[in-house]
């Protein structure tokens, strides 16, 4: 099938930028790719710092906002992968809600141990991804139509399963104690259950080194040593700032899980043949097929990855909230896509990537939560996310055209 999806908004293939693939990009283009990130830093730490002060800029508040949005970030990682392959998945939010219902319902209503429930729910996510891929690859349906349809199916399934109402871990006294390791005050989903600080620091150091690697390789130009040196200094300052503020001590286990998932997916997309094939498929599926890449297989794996992380988001939501509510994750779809498209204009020249999605998603969360902290109604959230998405796609498209001249 033709690829008229995300590649048109932000070209994901290195082949689409042949001049830059061999010679690197200029300092001016480096600054363009950093402008969005700089703007977010100014808004969050400059504008919000002056407006809200310590009411917003403190470790507990900033880390809690990340903690409660871990499911959103997981969905964003999934849709970033499927966008990089040249497809869309509009079913991710509905699938995450369905998996939240299944995680709690299979335990409370069917009496299945949580140790079995979690792999069952993740398997449901894989099957959902295979269904989306089947509709797109075999029936040749437009991914918008196919995943919008499966999203409706997932919505109907969780509505029927929950009978239109909530399901909670405290539904019966017999389930309360058994689920403590998962959703109790010291369980997986608890913000107060802090992760081992050594594990957190190892992941943070690896994350900063990975970001340094991305900047050094992606924004190379005639003075490559200068880029490495400057980015290395920035990386050292980031680590020093984290140590000074004590921010890592606020991480709980779901936040650690998010860091691990991000690192693993970045490594796969950056260093493996699978990752290169995903980007090649998204950039030009015809050329990818002619070069020997099994395009349908790559598309299938991308849909499975998106659905798997949506299912994982549902599991984390069940652990965090302890209750499945109709529509609990449905509204995550828009900010997840906004975060993914922001990745094309954050330390990038039109390419979807994991770190940009996480940085963009975090910026969106902080902007929305900062407004709420300042007294602006949460009803503005979707409006802001929509505006950011439009701006991100517009800037990505303009940047792509500029670089391809």
Question: pLDDT by residue (tens digit) across 106-151?
Answer: 999 999 999 999 999 999 999 999 999 999 999 999 999 999 999 9
Work out the average pLDDT over 163-178: 72
Work out the average pLDDT over 322-351: 90
Work out the average pLDDT over 270-289: 94
Q: What is the pLDDT of residues 16-74, one digit of tens each?
A: 333 343 344 555 556 666 777 888 888 889 988 899 988 999 999 999 999 999 999 99
User: What is the rounded average pLDDT for all residues in the chain?
Assistant: 85
The residue with greater pLDDT, 13 or 331, is: 331
Q: Percent of the chain having pLDDT more than 70?
A: 82
Least confident of 122-131, 248-257, 299-308, 390-399: 390-399
Residues in the chain: 405
What pLDDT shows up at residue 27?
55
> Residue 4: pLDDT band by 50, 70, 90 thresholds?
very low
pTM attached to this predicted model: 0.89
What pLDDT shows up at residue 14?
39
pLDDT above 90 for 377: no
């Amino acid at each position: 099938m033709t690829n008229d999806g995300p590649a048109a908004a932000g070209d994901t293939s290195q082949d689409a930028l042949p001049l830059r693939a061999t010679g690197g990009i200029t300092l001016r283009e480096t600054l363009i790719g950093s402008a969005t990130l700089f703007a977010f830093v100014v808004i969050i730490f400059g504008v919000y710092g002056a407006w809200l002060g310590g009411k917003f800029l403190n470790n507990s508040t900033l880390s809690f906002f990340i903690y409660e949005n871990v499911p959103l970030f997981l969905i964003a990682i999934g849709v970033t992968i499927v966008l990089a392959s040249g497809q869309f998945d509009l079913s991710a939010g509905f699938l995450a809600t369905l998996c939240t219902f299944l995680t709690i319902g299979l335990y409370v209503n069917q009496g299945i141990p949580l140790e079995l429930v979690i792999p069952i729910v993740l398997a449901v996510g894989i099957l959902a991804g295979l269904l989306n891929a089947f509709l797109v690859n075999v029936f040749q349906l437009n991914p918008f139509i196919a995943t919008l349809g499966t999203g409706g199916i997932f919505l109907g399934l969780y509505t029927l399963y929950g009978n239109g109402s909530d399901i909670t871990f405290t539904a019966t006294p017999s389930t309360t104690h058994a689920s403590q390791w998962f959703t109790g005050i010291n369980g997986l989903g608890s913000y107060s259950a802090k992760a081992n600080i050594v594990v957190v620091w190892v992941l943070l150091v690896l994350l900063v080194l990975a970001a340094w690697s991305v900047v050094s390789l992606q924004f190379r130009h005639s003075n490559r040593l200068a880029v490495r040196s400057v980015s290395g200094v920035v990386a050292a300052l980031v680590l020093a700032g984290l140590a000074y503020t004590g921010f890592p001590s606020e991480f709980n286990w779901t936040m650690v899980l998010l860091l691990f998932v991000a690192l693993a997916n970045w490594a796969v997309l950056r260093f493996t043949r699978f990752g290169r094939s995903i980007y090649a498929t998204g950039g030009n599926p015809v050329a990818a097929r002619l070069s020997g890449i099994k395009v349908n297989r790559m598309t299938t794996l991308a849909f499975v990855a998106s659905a798997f992380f949506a299912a994982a988001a549902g599991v984390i939501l069940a652990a965090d909230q302890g209750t499945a509510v109709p529509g609990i994750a449905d509204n995550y779809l828009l900010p997840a896509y906004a975060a993914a498209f922001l990745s094309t204009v954050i330390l990038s020249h039109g390419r979807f990537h994991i770190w940009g999605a996480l940085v963009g998603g975090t910026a969106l969360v902080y902007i929305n939560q900062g407004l709420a902290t300042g007294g602006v109604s949460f009803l503005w959230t979707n409006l802001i996310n929509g505006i950011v998405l439009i701006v991100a796609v517009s800037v990505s498209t303009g940047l792509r055209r500029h670089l391809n001249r």
